[in-house]
Amino acid sequence: MQTSTEHDRHSFGPAVATLGVIAASVGFGLVPYFARSLTAEGMAAHSIAFYRYAFAAITLVPFVWRARAHWKALLWGVAAGAAMGLGWIGYVKAVEIVPVLTAGILYMTYPVFTLLIAWFLFRDTPHRRSIIASLMILAAAAIGASPGAVQADQVPALLLSLAAPFGFGFGITVLVHRLNVLGPLARLASASLGSVLGLAPLIAVTPATALFPGTLPGWWLVIGIAFGSALIPQLLFTVCAPRIGTARTAVAGSFELPTMFLVGWIAFAEPVGAAQWLACAIIVSAIALTPSKAIRSVAANAAVQSRDA
């Protein structure tokens, strides 16, 4: 039986899908603005992460029930969401204490995590061009960094922030290789639910003063992070990523970095010079270099899941 995801895959090509991932990444790149502003309101990092995913989980949870026949894929989605939600805490903590561009350096290592996880978990051998493009992304992030911006006491927070690119890389590989039997809304719903469930124990032991913003503008920031940097871009991402494969998704998603540059420059007066714009040019070149890689059909994915049962 054909599913809607199988039909939709042929509705647009890799070029449009790549643009969709780039648009989603612009939304993701706005996260530092919301995160730093909300921590200034006194909210805990895990509370901000919880709000980011809770709206999507509440809104879309009926789609999890509708897709219950594909319970194995749903469990993969929940696991990926939990990894992304918990990993994102480290990123919020890093953005709170160091310049946005500096925190972005380590976060932009996620294409490397993505390729490695896909290789080890799903036997998705990376193409030589994909490896080169990922290294280009790392070089772009290093070039765009602010020299000497990190103090010794900030290093632990930056190391902890590596959990974010690891979790996102795991999420990309699961989305591409295990969630294709689900419709886009079910994919997003399962991941959002996983993030909420992963963060729930931390929320349960957090004082109320760190759970909620203290002002009305703070609540608008909560709405902004939930919809402008989560629900809408995540939906774009879940629709488009399976059409272009793991490697190109990881590299196209790196358009988040120039968005971070602009956020740091406009919102927090962090300098953006020639080095940062050179990094942006390298990223665009890496996107062009990375080949799109067709993934297994819905039927093939179902066969793999049956085999693994």
7-23 per-position pLDDT tens digit = 444 467 888 888 999 99
> In whole angstroms, what is the distance from residue 11 CA to residue 158 CA?
41
**% of the chain exceeding 70 in pLDDT:** 88
Confidence of residue 145 (pLDDT cuts 50, 70, 90): low
Q: Over the stretch 187-237, which tens digit does the pLDDT of each residue have?
A: 889 999 999 999 999 999 999 889 999 899 999 999 999 999 888 998 888
Confidence of residue 78 (pLDDT cuts 50, 70, 90): very high
> In whole angstroms, what is the distance from residue 293 CA to residue 296 CA?
10
- Which is more confident, 194 or 250? 194
**% of the chain exceeding 90 in pLDDT:** 30
pLDDT value at position 170? 93
What integer is the mean pLDDT of 69-95? 92
> In whole angstroms, what is the distance from residue 82 CA to residue 78 CA?
6
- Which is more confident, 299 or 199? 199
Q: Over the stretch 265-279, which tens digit does the pLDDT of each residue have?
A: 898 888 777 877 888
Please state, rounded to an integer, the average pLDDT across all residues of the chain: 82
Asked whether 237 and 185 are in contact (CB, 8 A), the reply is no
Structural domain boundaries, residue 69: 4-308
Helices marked H in the chain — which ranges?
4-8, 14-29, 31-40, 45-66, 71-97, 100-107, 110-122, 128-143, 155-160, 163-177, 184-204, 216-223, 232-252, 256-268, 274-289, 298-308
Confidence of residue 292 (pLDDT cuts 50, 70, 90): low
Residue 113 clears pLDDT 70, i.e. is over it: yes
**Count of domains forming the chain:** 1
pLDDT value at position 304? 34
> In whole angstroms, what is the distance from residue 286 CA to residue 50 CA?
33
Residue 75 clears pLDDT 90, i.e. is over it: yes
Confidence of residue 38 (pLDDT cuts 50, 70, 90): very high
Crossing angle between the packed helical segments 232-252 and 14-29, to the nearest 10 degrees: 110
